[in-house]
Amino acid sequence: MLKIDRSELDKAIKNMVAMYADTEKVLADYEEEKQVLINRENGFKERMLQLQKEHTQVLLDRDSSKDNTSDYIKLSKKLTAANDDMQIIVSLQAQLKEDFKDLKQKYIPIIRDTYSNDVSAKNEFQVNDTIDYVKYELLNAIADYAKEVRKLQLPIREIVGDEFLGDSQLMQENKSFQRAFEFDSTYLSYVGDLGNSVIAKNHVLSSISGNLHPEVRKPVKDVE
């Protein structure tokens, strides 16, 4: 009987697909720079494995050429060079950890500010104003319906009141008839405990009697 028109809301929801476009672009830029560091890290690992294999092989070759002074010296130089290269890589790997940290530090304020700007678009949905507007329209609609029920009952009640309800002795013998025409018989049926609902129970009880509760006021501005 009473429906909420969601057409504009659904349209807005469909348009939300690009809500975080700027943040996604910043994150993509971050991932691109991060990948450069990852590639460098993988390169260091591959080179370290190569040097470790070379080191092991040269060490074996040198042990087997102890009697050849020239080869022993040459292989010893290669071992020293391999050790030096591995030390350099270890140093570069330590620096790379700092580079990863610096990259994150660089993007933290950029991501934070961009995200804050993107997510602020959610405020286009004015929750409090929307609740107040829907609450007012709902309670007012209930009150209007109940008011009409009571209005249409008045002519009947006047006749019944004069001819039947005013006869106390007759009503003593016809309690169910009397109850059928009690004032609150025109109230709309409402069963429930709203508890901490956004609509107060006493507001609903007032509306089902055909009266808009004085605390319920029409919002100053319509929700777009």
Higher local confidence (pLDDT), 83 or 199: 83
Residue 67's pLDDT is 85
pLDDT band for position 105 (50/70/90)?
Answer: very high
Residue 192's pLDDT is 65
Assess whether pLDDT exceeds 60 at residue 19: yes
* pLDDT tens readout for residues 128-150: 788 888 888 888 998 999 999 88
pTM: 0.68
Structure tokens at 66: 């102890």
Q: Is the separation of the CB atoms in 221 and 129 below 8 Å?
A: yes
When the pLDDT of each residue in the chain is averaged and rounded to a whole number, the result is: 88
* pLDDT tens readout for residues 27-69: 999 999 999 999 999 999 999 999 999 999 999 999 988 889 9
